[in-house]
Structure 1
Amino acid sequence: MRHSRIAFLVVLALVVTGCSNAIPGRPVAAKVVNNEGIDTAVVRGTDGGRIDQLAATALTDIEQFWTDASQPTFNKPWQKLTGGYYSVDTSDNTAKPPPCTQKASDVEGNAFYCPAADAIAWDRTALLPVLEDKFGQAAVVIVLAHEMGHAVQRRMGITPEAERREPERFPTILTEAMADCFAGSFIRWVNDGKSDHLDIGSNTLDSALGALITFRDPVGTSPTDEQAHGSAFDRVAAFQDGYEQGTKFCAAMTVQNRVFTQRAFTNADDRATGGNLPFAKMLESITPDLDGYYASIAQQLGKTWTPPKAEASQTEPDCSGNQGPVAYCPSAKSIAVDVKEELPALHAELGDYATGVLLASRYGMAELAVLGKPLEGEDASRSALCLAGAYTGSVLAREKGFGLSPGDMDEAVNVLLEYDYAARDSKGGSALEPGFKRVAVFREGVFEGPKKCGVG
């Protein structure tokens, strides 16, 4: 009955709104490019302005990366793009269209690789400056690195003809993931200090990944859709794999060895709500499920799980430090949940599984306490977050009962990139930084289970 009590208190306390207030703690976009020595004349249709200087600089170093990486990855030298680069002013009705298009407006809000011409084109008025303004210069770099990834695929023999001939072997969601993976490998090269003109550190990477998420598929898109590009979780996962594993790993991706979490809606009710439960209903549904999952881990390890007492709080919980809107209180063996301010706002802003991730990580902290593990320090933060991922992976695999809706994995990515709450220890400290690292630890739990989390 504990969970019913929480839900009742939430109903009393929650003020339902259509939007939420801005909450601090977002990554900051930063300047990453040194344009010195870069000539925009290599870009066809350029106006010679700042945006095309940024694009030309990025592509100069992306080309250098593949000049270095092609031989060790594919046992053959890099072939420069024969069709070059095209910048398009989509606000100009008289602008000459780039290859693969009929008119300049066809490029609006887009960047793409044209395999027929072996060329890359972009909208310099309604795409690149928007990305830069919202996510920072690194976002522009990542988008262009992704498009170059498609040029790499053409050199691998993954052409439009091959995709049409063998759609089961080269589904769009796979080729897009591979391009994201190649982009991640390039960014790692930059991050390792090998780039002449780019500087993308952890303070810019989190924000830049927001651009990748922007180009995710609409929630509920089937992974078999011929236009599927992947969910935010799948796209960030591919990018991280490239960053961590390198170009050979990306080139070896297949439908057999790649796991995609993207799901289509399976019922009308889920589609109508966008897969999101109201805040009170989410708490009522997930807390008993969390109890059951963590009890099973404790039992497997010869321990007795005592469900933590769940308590509703009208403000950010204040127990053993600042853990955020959900906190594990070791002395009381309780989980305190902010049902009035930040957590409901975060729930409304990011979706119901943002709430789920925060709850799962604090239940993970309770699991560490039951197992006699340390509750403070980076190892504790990592384990709690990893356990939240392990719980998520178990729910993702279910066919019946409480389960994840399309979009829930994306909500997990968003809350982990934007906030560090799920990766704080029981004192509210030792949070894992940056968000890129938090997502990586969460993914380990999702795909490898609780043994990866240091509780075995």
Structure 2
Amino acid sequence: MRHRSGRLVRLAALVTAVATVGSGCTVAVSGQPKAARVVERDTTSTGVIRGSDGGQIDQLAGTALADIDRFWDEAFPATFGKPWTPLSGGIFSVDTADASAKPPPCTEKASDVEGNAFYCPSADAVAYDRAALLPVLQDKFGDAAVVIVLAHEMGHAVQKRMGITPESERANPGKFPTILTEAMADCFAGSFTKWVADGKSKSLDIGQDALDSALGALITFRDPVGTSPTDQQAHGNAFDRVSAFQDGFQKDAKFCGAMTVQNRVFTQSTFTNVADRDRGGNLPFDDMIVQLTPDLSAYYQGVLTSIGKTWVPPKSTKVGQEPDCSGDQGPVAFCKDDKAVEIDVEGDLRKLHEQIGDYATGLLMASRYGLSALAQAGKQTDGAAAGSNALCMAGAYTGVVLDRKEGFGLSPGDMDEAVQVLLAANFPTRDAKGRSGLEPGFKRVEVFRAGVFDGDKACGIR
């Protein structure tokens, strides 16, 4: 058996999370380091951090927070028309491995901070665990992860200066639910990251090669599968959090600050039946293929009919090894000459299904059916644009299924599974010859989101 997609499986195995809990933003850590660096570490920055040991983690945190403050000193007046005011309550580094460590504001004991970073609105302060959070994130994702987490927490400080406080939420119930304020903070973190990526920071460097790291770190903060979006502690699923971050990166802080419950779409959902909940939202591998194949065909028939073309379902062929009919497309391939979709049912696809979830299978199949639809619409199936359009079509299909009330639909964890697959490998964006996979994963998520939210009109098929 050939194992050309073994890299994808090894990455998928890293999805297994180490969960930590505390009083702030709960974290589950997974992944591996990506390129990101501190250009010039500010060794004096630890002097303003309370409880600092002067070590490299506090130096990194201090450097990041100083840069975040510089960003908001520019962006806040431009966005909200008034001066930025630095934190009045300070920054707290907590060694949660030290039983005698002093607790920061909003906590009763140092151990309350374990595995967390948070903003305390009553004290206008930021605190973080320098023992069990920041070094773990740094080890798994690189320096960029630490920067993004702290940028998110400072996003909550921005909200207070906007007038979004616990008191304002109590006075206007439902106006600023937690899932919205968390999305806004993710968005603000994205805006800051774009500022750094544009070379405006003298201390930090987060280029295109580090964006996957940023997203990988961010999705460790996703809610447990099945959490209601109306839960008082809801932070959003992986797709919602990544979407907010990308919106901030692509747009600006003004867009982030204008988020409301009326204009923000969240895909997080609860389980609708006991059976789905008991199986964790995942169909068995063989059942998923049986149910998915006719549903994909029905969807693409509708798309082709709407543009005056005729849809002929591709032959769905199960194979016992990675398909090689048209180059290396991964464990699912569109075979243009045979007008078929070949599915590896013995190797990597089954492993991905087990390690990530059933929508790993769903996304890969939807993108290859997307290539078939492009071919039948008379569009190019070779080249980078074709591969991206195929993923976009998979996103468009996902958006339709996501909104369904009856029949084949998505489970609460499926959108998270899509993000994990897209960050892991470029197979969903390879063309009909197995080439031109889109990099980095940040861009793949962006293309997928366009399909989900804008439908097939964004996918070059019309």
- What is the TM-score normalised by the length of structure 1? 0.94
CA contact (8 A) 1:314 1:341 kept: yes
Report the alpha carbon displacement of residue 225 of structure 1 after superposing the two structures with TM.
0.3
Deviations 1:119-156 (A, max 9, x none): 00000000000111111110111000000000000000
Tell me whether 1:240 sits opposite 2:253 in the alignment: no
Q: Secondary structure at the match of 2:111?
A: helix
Report the alpha carbon displacement of residue 28 of structure 1 after superposing the two structures with TM.
4.5
Matching residue of 1:449: 455
Report the alpha carbon displacement of residue 306 of structure 1 after superposing the two structures with TM.
0.5
Report the alpha carbon displacement of residue 189 of structure 1 after superposing the two structures with TM.
0.5
Moved more, 423-432 or 151-160: 423-432
Tell me whether 1:336 sits opposite 2:342 in the alignment: yes
AA aligned opposite 2:43? I
Matching residue of 1:8: none
Matching residue of 1:62: 68
Tell me whether 1:131 sits opposite 2:119 in the alignment: no
Report the alpha carbon displacement of residue 38 of structure 1 after superposing the two structures with TM.
3.5
Q: Matches of 1:37 and 1:139 in 2, distance apart?
A: 18
Q: Matches of 1:208 and 1:247 in 2, distance apart?
A: 18
Q: Which runs of 5+ in 2 are unaligned?
A: 1-7, 15-30
Matching residue of 2:18: none
Q: Secondary structure at the match of 1:311?
A: strand
Q: Matches of 1:163 and 1:143 in 2, distance apart?
A: 24
AA aligned opposite 1:145? A
Q: Secondary structure at the match of 1:63?
A: helix
Matching residue of 2:382: 376
Matching residue of 1:282: 288
Q: Secondary structure at the match of 2:241?
A: helix
CA contact (8 A) 2:137 2:146 kept: yes
Q: Matches of 1:46 and 1:27 in 2, distance apart?
A: 27
Q: Number of residues paired by the alignment? A: 437
Report the alpha carbon displacement of residue 269 of structure 1 after superposing the two structures with TM.
0.7
Q: Matches of 1:61 and 1:89 in 2, distance apart?
A: 23
AA aligned opposite 1:22? R
Q: Matches of 2:233 and 2:244 in 1, distance apart?
A: 17
Matching residue of 1:22: 10
Q: Secondary structure at the match of 2:126?
A: strand
Q: Matches of 2:296 and 2:229 in 1, distance apart?
A: 28
AA aligned opposite 2:38? V
Q: Secondary structure at the match of 1:87?
A: strand
CA RMSD, aligned part only?
1.3
Equivalent position to 1:268, from 266, 270, 274: 274
Equivalent position to 1:88, from 91, 94, 99: 94
Matching residue of 1:38: 43
AA aligned opposite 2:271? F
CA contact (8 A) 1:35 1:53 kept: no
Q: Matches of 1:450 and 1:236 in 2, distance apart?
A: 21
Report the alpha carbon displacement of residue 207 of structure 1 after superposing the two structures with TM.
2.0
Report the alpha carbon displacement of residue 34 of structure 1 after superposing the two structures with TM.
2.9
AA aligned opposite 1:99? P
Correspondences of 1:215-364 after superposition (within 5 Å): 215-364=221-370
Q: Matches of 1:234 and 1:36 in 2, distance apart?
A: 32
CA contact (8 A) 1:136 1:208 kept: no
Matching residue of 2:23: none
Q: Matches of 1:335 and 1:252 in 2, distance apart?
A: 44
Deviations 1:61-115 (A, max 9, x none): 1001001101110011110100110000001111111011111001000000001
- What is the TM-score normalised by the length of structure 2? 0.93
Q: Matches of 1:426 and 1:365 in 2, distance apart?
A: 7
Deviations 1:159-198 (A, max 9, x none): 1111222231010000000000000000000110101111
Q: Secondary structure at the match of 2:432?
A: coil
Q: Matches of 2:265 and 2:42 in 1, distance apart?
A: 42
Q: Matches of 2:315 and 2:424 in 1, distance apart?
A: 28
CA contact (8 A) 1:223 1:262 kept: yes
Equivalent position to 1:190, from 178, 196, 212: 196
Equivalent position to 1:167, from 173, 181, 186: 173
Equivalent position to 2:438, from 413, 432, 454: 432
CA contact (8 A) 1:27 1:206 kept: no
AA aligned opposite 2:135? P
Report the alpha carbon displacement of residue 35 of structure 1 after superposing the two structures with TM.
3.9
Tell me whether 1:100 sits opposite 2:103 in the alignment: no
CA contact (8 A) 2:33 2:140 kept: no
Report the alpha carbon displacement of residue 30 of structure 1 after superposing the two structures with TM.
2.5
Q: Secondary structure at the match of 1:449?
A: helix
AA aligned opposite 1:297? V
Report the alpha carbon displacement of residue 37 of structure 1 after superposing the two structures with TM.
3.7
CA contact (8 A) 2:36 2:207 kept: no
Q: Secondary structure at the match of 1:97?
A: coil
Sequence identity of aligned pairs in percent? 65
Tell me whether 1:405 sits opposite 2:393 in the alignment: no
AA aligned opposite 1:121? A
Q: Matches of 2:225 and 2:103 in 1, distance apart?
A: 32
Matching residue of 1:4: none
Q: Which runs of 5+ in 1 are unaligned?
A: 1-19
